[in-house]
Structure 1
């Protein structure tokens, strides 16, 4: 029996692919929920024990909702060369198609893309079958981040490619039709791990933390905490000449994997918010990810909401930790991405002392209030995806979709929560327990118009 924490409990991999129709529903599914919730995560094939959680092959889970019904559930491995054992490093250098494709799945220009930041994205059909590697008609010169950002006004997809070797950071923009219209090398970047980033109305915001390339790390993910690596925030003006004007601002040591949001305040300062770990928090997380003997009981135990305020005129940065609840996977109403938002959501975890628990948390940034939907004993919710209600007028007028892994029942449910008060509106019972994964998206049917569909 394996001792790897990412292969047991909530993270025990599914051993096969299934399809099920006519899923049982408790409560009433809002009719505007017409589309697919798709989720991605690491799920190695039976008999495979990766040396790092992030090295497990990607498996996508999909739940199809339409007209108040839960029509189907299906799960599929992303069929990349790596699924059949192809190595990332070859005698000719890295094979960017040998991807786990297990971090995220997004839609852009009617195309579903399964993402892993070390490789090319992989296109999937609306039924989650693998189409193949997608390199934007040859315009993608290297790997693509697992966290692209869609401009809610223009529909453009902004993304980057990060490498431990020069060029360290490449920035791209694809138009609403999926064509790359801009790319540039960002000067001043280093080998620091860059997992996520943010957009504001006028800037692109990059994060370089104290985790950087480490050639001595043999887990297959060659990064580690290095006190010599300065933590910095890069602020780059949007536009064709923005890279030449990027500015890097030093901040306190830490590592932030996922951005909640960024925006420009009334004084023109750039405000950035993201859960962040310190040195000990990274050590505990890393030990869980690689299955070290002194691993923590959870992959997230010292990750706390943090805020930076970058005054571009003064050249200064103010920063603070704004809450003591252990959280990760921040989300928001994407219509407010890049602008000042009031509400944010995240998954809560027990901290290193066992305080707190699994749940979905809502933050009111105006009042400072924190609302918690407790998941229950041995129940781990996934990242909460916001979907606006029909005719929505308020920022939190909508729903949160989260898939719960229930160990006691060996089952999973899709919960539909009211984003305003976190009350449960509906429960969809799934035909299997869904392995705890990483990221996902709500894909409305309108986004897939013209794509091959059921």
Structure 2
């Protein structure tokens, strides 16, 4: 094994696909947790050393819960042409099926889709076997973001295609049952890297940061920080023809990899929240991603919570740092996606000096407080996913699901936490039959969504 940080420690790939049944449970799994927790991560085959963390082949890990039981764990590579060595770039141009499919996994319209932003989605079965590329019944002829947004009220799925070449940005909307309803090119977009975006009740929001296409970058991910790249927020109305009404608002230099949420406040302003890095933080993160020597660097170095408040009437943006913790992988209760939320969850990393342990964080935006759940040395929790409790009425009335990598035991466990109070003991812990490589994204998918 090489010394690349994304191939060692918590991120060490697993070498095979397994299935285990009848998992051991401590505590009591709430019966409403009947479905699948599915995580995606970069997991190159044995003997393969990708030049960048993001170039590793995707592997999904699933935990099946049913009415208080943990029925199975299974892990499967997403079997794309790239898994067997097919190149992304061919003499005929990009092969959109040659995907790592290793960034995210979602459900929409009854389909499970493994995602990577440079390619088409790959459909999976409920047992995580690969079906094949999904082009939305011929409606998608370009790549698809790994971070689509499903409106909790309409059920519509918003997603986009971003390219270093014109057209730089296309916004798509699919119906709740998986039919593409609308596709619009967004005027004025640039070759800046767009990994995530946001929706509000009436708008779609894109951030273009200080990272842009650079063919001189040879790690396999051709993007670099550029002081010359204009940083800005694009706001367009939802609905047919909305892209033609896009407005771009200049902001300070930085880059936001992931957004927690966005909403319209009572004054008609658009509020966007998520972690952001400056130039130094981006470079240290990049050093980790490509395996360049940089002692103390983390995969998300220097990433701190930020808020942008766009005032369309005044044509202004107010920017503010809202917390000093180094955090990433922000999540909210998805019922509040695009609407004002009170609670937000994130994963805190050791600071820029490597001090501290990994910690789950709960923010209460109503009073500006935070609650911390630190994990011990050698333990790394993953992205915390909120699942509502049966009969719950409050925004945080539910559970947080996270998969913890434990280097001390060379094992992993799925932990069910009471989202209303992180100081409480875990509601339940499911012991997994192997260590699951750390981080990247996933989804909780109730059984009702796959029937």
Pairing 1:395–2:368 present? no
Alignment of 1:327-406 (within 5 A): 327-406=327-406
* More deviation, 94-103/354-363: 354-363
Paired with 1:115 and 1:9, the residues of 2 have a C-alpha distance of 25
Post-superposition offset of 1:295 = 5.5
1:452 corresponding residue in structure 2: none
Task: Provide the residue aligned with 1:76 in structure 2.
Answer: 76
Partner of 1:162: 162
Counterpart in 2 of 1:49?
Answer: 49
Query: In the alignment, which residue of structure 2 is the partner of 1:440?
Result: 442
Q: Distance in 1 between matches of 2:158 and 2:404?
A: 30
The normalised TM-score by structure 2 is 0.99
Q: Does structure 2 retain, via aligned residues, the 8 Å contact 1:42–1:437?
A: no
Contact 2:309 2:317 in 1 (8 A): yes
Any idea what the Cα deviations from partners look like across 1:26-74, whole Å, max 9, x if unmatched?
Answer: 0010000000000001000000000000000000000000010100000
d(CA) in 1 for partners of 2:207 and 2:295? 26
Looking at structure 1, the residues matched to 280 and 351 of structure 2 have their Cα atoms a distance apart, in angstroms, of: 12
TM-score using structure 1 length: 0.98
CA distance in 2, matches of 1:410, 1:252: 43
How many Å apart are 1:85 and its aligned residue?
0.1
Look up the SS of the partner of 2:363 in the other structure: strand
The 8 Å contact of residues 147 and 159 in structure 1, kept in 2 or not, is answered as: yes
Offset at 1:151? 0.5
Moved beyond 3 Å, runs of 4+: none
User: Which position in structure 1 is the counterpart of 2:429?
Assistant: 427
Q: Is 47-56 or 287-296 further displaced after alignment?
A: 287-296
Structure 1 unaligned residues grouped into runs of 5+: 450-454
- Tell me the SS of whatever aligns to 2:323: coil
How far apart, in 1, do the equivalents of 2:62 and 2:373 lie? Answer: 24
- Distance in 2 separating the partners of 1:144 and 1:417: 32
Query: 1:173·1:180 contact (CA, 8 Å) conserved in 2?
Result: yes
CA distance in 2, matches of 1:11, 1:267: 45
Q: Which residue of 2 aligns with 1:12?
A: 12
CA contact (8 A) 1:171 1:185 kept: yes
The 5-angstrom pairing of residues 163-182 of structure 1 reads 163-182=163-182
Distance 1:298 1:219 in 2: 18
- Contact 2:275 2:327 (C-alpha < 8 Å) held by counterparts: yes
By how many angstroms is 1:374 displaced? 1.1
1:4-153 correspondence runs (5 A): 4-153=4-153
Gaps of 5+ in 2: none
Report Cα offsets for 1:166-188 as digits up to 9, x if no partner: 00000000001100000010000
Alpha-carbon distance in structure 1 between the residues aligned to 2:377 and 2:356 = 12
Answer whether contact 1:359 1:373 (CA < 8 A) is retained. yes
Question: 1:437, CA displacement in angstroms?
Answer: 2.9
Q: Mapping of 1:197-346 within 5 angstroms?
A: 197-294=197-294, 296-346=296-346
Q: Single out whichever of 222-231 and 292-301 deviates more from structure 2.
A: 292-301
